[in-house]
Amino acid sequence: MSEVWVTLTTAGAGPPPLVVLLSALAALVVVSWSTSWQLSRGLITIAHEGGHALVALLTRRKLQGIRLHSDTSGVTLTRGRPTGPGMILTAAAGYVAPSLLGLGGAWLTSSGYVTVLITLVIGLLFCMLLMIRNLFGVVSLLVTGGAIFAFTWYAAPDMDAVLAYLAVWFLLLGGFRPIMELQRKRRHGRAPDSDADQLARLTFLPGGFWVLLFLLVAAASLAGGAWLLSPVPLDFG
């Protein structure tokens, strides 16, 4: 156990600057290209529903289950007061979760704690697996967690950092696209029960306000994450 603790708490060297820039470019291509986005969007959904679930637990709502669907949608079922701060925070957590997770991951990765980040991700996926209530969701989490574990187990140690940078950039950049897709659906009246519209009914603030708030959180997270991950020190003084 002491060796495991030393491994987790020892900061490692980051990859060369070129690798950091290429990982950001690769994540941007994955998010921007429709085909790759459809194949990878489910990872953002996992973070989205995980955000709902985590905040529900933190606000002492009863988490009943999580479902992930093959069309990359998902739903998190909770029980408790239908109104109030707990319900509002739970509803608001989904669309900002990928960006905030990316920001936290950027801090760990830039500090050299890649092993801690990977361990946390696998642990969170396992906890989430316990609450999945459909077969596709179980398969999705097993495949995701298994792929991460297999990569870190069999790949060269230096490749862990490459995977971490790519994943963090993907979360930071991928946090934007579902919000834009949400606004397009709302504009055409195709998302009457979206998180933003549920929040509008809970708070009497318009759904557009919540979409804007989601975008601001995503933008701030991307800016902060880019500053942390930048291979060139940024001096704003």
| pLDDT tens per residue across span 205-226 | 999 999 999 999 999 999 999 9
pLDDT digits (tens, 9 = 90+) for 224-234: 999 999 876 55
What would the two tokens of residue 56 be?
A: 């529900």
Q: Per-residue confidence at 7, pLDDT binned at 50, 70, 90? A: low
Taking each helix axis from N to C end, the angle separating 176-187 and 207-229, rounded to the nearest 10 degrees, works out to 160
pLDDT, position 12: 66
Domain ranges in the chain are 21-70+81-229
Give residues with Cβ within 8 angstroms of 132, minimum separation 6: 65, 66, 67, 68, 138, 141
pLDDT, position 236: 45
Taking the alpha carbons at both ends of the chain, their separation in whole angstroms is 44
Q: Per-residue confidence at 42, pLDDT binned at 50, 70, 90? A: very high
- Tell me how far apart the alpha carbons of residues 102 and 151 are, in angstroms, rounded to a whole number: 20
pLDDT, position 120: 94
Sign of the four-CA dihedral 94, 74, 135, 141: negative
pLDDT, position 190: 85
pLDDT digits (tens, 9 = 90+) for 77-107: 999 999 999 999 999 999 999 999 999 999 9
pLDDT digits (tens, 9 = 90+) for 151-199: 988 888 788 899 999 999 999 999 999 999 999 999 888 888 899 999 9
Q: Is residue 143 within 8 Å of 43, Cβ to Cβ?
A: no
Stretch 133-144: mean pLDDT:
96
Q: Per-residue confidence at 8, pLDDT binned at 50, 70, 90? A: low
**Three-class SS of residue 76?**
strand
Q: Is residue 126 within 8 Å of 114, Cβ to Cβ?
A: no
Q: In this structure, how many other beta carbons lie within 10 angstroms of the beta carbon of residue 70?
A: 11
Q: Indicate yes or no: pTM above 0.85.
A: yes
- Tell me how far apart the alpha carbons of residues 34 and 37 are, in angstroms, rounded to a whole number: 5
pLDDT, position 28: 97
pLDDT, position 189: 86
Q: Per-residue confidence at 9, pLDDT binned at 50, 70, 90? A: low
Average pLDDT, the chain: 91
